[in-house]
Amino acid sequence: MIGFIIASVVAVANIVIIHSLLRQSDAIAATINIAGKMRMLSQRIGLMHVAEPAFIVGQGQNHAAIFEQLEASFEAAIQALESGGEAFGLAIPAITAESLQYLEKIEVTRDSYRQTLQAMKLSLPYHNTIADSYAHGRATTLAIVAFSEVLLNDIEALINNLIVQSDNMQAHVKHQVYGLFIVNALMLLLAWAIIVRQVPNPIKRVVQLGNELVAGNYNARLAMNSNDEFGTLSRVLN
């Protein structure tokens, strides 16, 4: 009975541990996925800013609404990474303190990007000549491209850090699986030893007693003090 209980406990423990490892792996994959979507989103925002004068929107849409939607998606991704939550349909836990440093750098770059762009847009009405407007537009485009590049590099650094953590977690999971395999082997060996002790060995002793009785040795005794069926049989025969 004890052997079967041990085997059942091992099976349940395996399921719980493997489920936990799979959840960790899924969380890392979802986190990297969100960071990757942030990278693509930052590029899209930058391109839309550069092409804003010639950007064609669908019927019933406007630039402001599209930018607000993209910015809201980007902000939701930052909040999910920082505090845990959902973004782009993916639920994740908060990132580690190490990764948070990269995320904070992204936020600083993004804030500087938005402030610079807003300042340049506000200065546009004060340019009266075509040359001034052209120079202002060129400066704005260069600033957008420069900040987009910095923001892209910051997000790439975050993704690389997450990938390193993923690799480390996979190595850790591999060691845990090996350890689990060893524990399973030891527990199954223990269960086998208990089962052998409780079933085959008592049967063998009963057979030996039967042989002794057949041979005329009525002084033979079956000494088993267990509380199971074999113990009952021992007390009856003795």
Q: Is the pLDDT of residue 77 over 90?
A: yes
Burial of 176 (0-12, 13-18, 19+ CB in 10 A): middle
C-alpha separations of 223 from 199, 200, 204, 218 in Å: 15, 15, 13, 14
- Residues 160, 219 within the same domain: no
Q: Is the pLDDT of residue 93 over 60?
A: yes
- Residues 220, 129 within the same domain: no
Q: What is the rounded average pLDDT of the residues 3-20?
A: 76
pLDDT at 92: 94
- Residues 204, 177 within the same domain: no
> What share of the chain in percent tops pLDDT 70?
67
Mean pLDDT of the chain: 78
Instruction: Answer yes or no: are the C-beta atoms of 27 and 92 closer than 8 Å.
Output: yes
Handedness of CA 43, 47, 49, 55 (dihedral sign): negative
pLDDT at 164: 92
- Residues 19, 133 within the same domain: yes
Burial of 117 (0-12, 13-18, 19+ CB in 10 A): middle
Q: How confident is the model at residue 230 (pLDDT cuts 50, 70, 90)?
A: low
- Residues 190, 204 within the same domain: no
Run of H or E residues at 139: helix 130-198
Number of domains in the chain: 2
Question: Angle 74-55-63 (CA atoms, 0-180°, nearest 5)?
Answer: 50
pLDDT at 136: 64
pLDDT at 47: 78
- Residues 149, 84 within the same domain: yes
Domain that holds residue 91: 2-195
122-169 residue pLDDT tens: 665 555 666 666 676 677 777 788 888 899 999 999 999 999 988 888
**Who has greater pLDDT, 156 or 66?**
156
Backbone torsion region of residue 196, taken as left when φ is above 0, otherwise alpha when ψ lies between -120 and 50, otherwise beta: alpha
- Residues 9, 67 within the same domain: yes
Q: Is the pLDDT of residue 7 over 80?
A: no
Q: How confident is the model at residue 107 (pLDDT cuts 50, 70, 90)?
A: very high
Q: Is the pLDDT of residue 236 over 70?
A: no
Burial of 183 (0-12, 13-18, 19+ CB in 10 A): middle
Question: 172: how many CB neighbours lie within 10 A of its CB?
Answer: 12
- Residues 56, 74 within the same domain: yes
